[in-house]
Amino acid sequence: MGLMRFIISPPDRITEEMAQQAYLCGMDRVRWKAWVRWQAGELVIQRTVVESGNLHIPWVVEGYGLLTLSTATLRERPEPYLLPLELARGKIGQVRNQLSEWQMLGLVAPEAVEEKIRAAIRTFGDAVVAPQGGPASVALAEEALRLAVDAATMLAAVFCEQALAVRRRGTGKLTTLLGADLGVSPLDDYAAGQFLQTFNAAIVPMVWREIEAREGKFCWDVYDQQIAWCRANGLTVCAGPILEFDQRCIPDWLYLCDSDFDSLFSFSSEFVAAAVERYRGKVDVWISAGRVNTAEALSLTEEEKVKLTARAIKLTRALDSAAEVTISFDQPWGEYLARQGNDFPPLHFADALLRAELGLTGLALEINVGYCPGGTLPRDPLEFSRQIDFWSLLGVPLYLSVAVPSSSQPDPLAQRRTVASGGTWTPADQQAWTSRYLPLFLAKPSVRGVLWSQLRDSEPHSLPHGGLFDLRRHPKPALRQLASIRQAHLK
């Protein structure tokens, strides 16, 4: 069994929660199953493999708050590593490599970016030669890390600006979809007006629990209204997920089939067929199945998840050959792997389904930033860029399903057992995140759509304070930011 040790100075630099979110992975970015101990200023990680790897851990960076950072590739050794120094080394190497890669593709980096990198390298060198573990070495390493994150953020902004300019040079405004989930009740007139000013697409959820509350008795009224409204207003219609094995989506009667996979397979196939047949020709993008890699509401094996997902894809394609067919993956970095020990990391799961040639035409990545457990850990824009590029290697369009909290307070209408974490969230923080990251997503040619997964906090919803309208039905600043982004870049 492999063992790696990291010294953290001062010992209260991280919390127990941050320590438990630390993980190791290899060159393929697959998270290894590991056991983490945090005691007396030392982080000890045991794992089942002994190869060299990268440590990823949430870390508070001055001026940025909590970010998940990575070391460079580290080998096992008897002596512990000084974690601040290794995080600085990892971020500097990542920024330099990304700069070189983008320059080969034609990016013109301003002198300010290169000077920031040089400053980070000089400060890192001072940290290396200072007495290891002493206050001077730690302070210098922290400053080198801050400078490297500055450089990463600046570099991502430069890429975003130049990539958007190149994309728009040939086609004018982009055809990328910008949408939001309509929820399970019709919009009032004010919300509908705000929606149409902001979005060119809409997600019509197919919540099995609401549609078939009693076995065999379907109620489509709300979804009929929503799809008719979308079509009347020229919105691109994304519908689904049709299958989502989440507690808030599964009808109560289906739990009787938890130990009977054949019946579960039959009922789920009937529901997929009913939904697609009803709205065939009225939906542009089907999300056949959602959160297929993290479904926990039923005791499904990974093989059973694959079978259900494959069946949903095949049925959707067979019944509506004109529409795009996608599925969604939760936590695309695979944060859940350490506690579940799955055999299929999310990217490998997606690759297997694509190779099976079932008719899958795109993938959706669910990015719920700032939620714990079950969310995506906060990362800087450069790391988001790298992850999108990694998934783009599969060669199909990507849809990014996004949610960010606007408050850290308890949310009485939230249905998922998760909380906003990583600091204190406010409406201004939600807006700032949107302003920084959404243009970056649009700059990626592989991103076909960016879809906000929650519209209103005033009706039962999945994530605490993740909507664009608050509990009093007032629009949040992030909604205005999205409208501005659409006006600037999208048709």
Task: Please spell the DSSP secondary structure of 291-354, one letter per residue.
Answer: STTT--SS---HHHHHHHHHHHHHHHHHH-TTSEEEEEEE-TT-TTHHHH--SS-HHHHHHHHH
Strands laid side by side in the 23-25 sheet: 23-25, 54-61, 65-70
Both 121 and 220 in one domain: the answer is no
Q: Is 296 in the same domain as 426?
A: yes
The pTM score is 0.94
Name which of 9, 12, 21 is nearest 86 in CA terms: 9
Final residue in a domain of this structure, among 166, 190, 225: 166
pLDDT in tens, 454-475: 999 999 999 999 999 999 999 9
> What pairs with residue 402 in β-bridges?
367, 452
Q: Tell whether 182 and 224 lie within a shared domain.
A: yes
Q: Which of 166, 197, 227 is the last residue of a domain?
A: 166
Same domain, 271 and 349: yes
Q: 30 and 147 in one domain?
A: yes
Do both 154 and 186 map to the same domain? no
Q: What is the pLDDT of residues 183-206, one digit of tens each?
A: 989 999 999 999 999 999 999 999
Sequential pLDDT tens for the chain (491 residues): 678 899 998 888 888 888 888 888 888 787 877 888 888 788 998 877 778 889 999 999 999 999 999 999 999 898 999 999 999 999 999 999 999 999 999 999 999 999 999 999 999 999 999 998 889 999 999 999 999 999 999 999 999 999 999 998 877 899 999 999 999 899 999 999 999 999 999 999 999 999 999 999 999 999 999 999 999 999 999 999 999 988 888 999 998 888 889 999 999 999 999 999 999 999 999 999 999 888 777 888 888 889 999 999 999 999 999 999 999 999 999 888 766 555 678 999 999 999 999 999 999 999 999 898 888 999 999 999 999 999 999 999 999 999 999 999 999 999 888 888 777 899 999 999 999 999 999 999 999 999 999 999 999 999 999 999 999 999 999 999 999 999 999 98
Are 134 and 64 within one domain? Answer: yes
Co-location of 284 and 419 in the same domain: yes
> Considering 114, 143, 166, which residue would you say is the last residue of a domain?
166
Q: Are residues 283 and 374 in the same domain?
A: yes
Q: Is 311 found in the same domain as 206?
A: yes
Instruction: Please count the structural domains in the chain.
Output: 2
Could you tell me if 111 and 68 are in contact, meaning their C-beta atoms sit under 8 angstroms apart?
A: no
Q: What mean pLDDT is reported for the chain?
A: 93
Domain CATH number, residue 368: 3.20.20.80
24 and 106 in a single domain? The answer is yes
Secondary structure of the chain: what % helix, strand, coil (to 5)? 45, 20, 35
| Contact yes or no for 83/89 (Cβ under 8 A) | no
H helices then E strands: how many in the chain?
Answer: 14, 18
Whole-number Cα distances in Å, 354 to 177, 306, 326, 358: 23, 12, 10, 7
Domain that holds residue 441: 173-489
| Same domain? 95 vs 180 | no
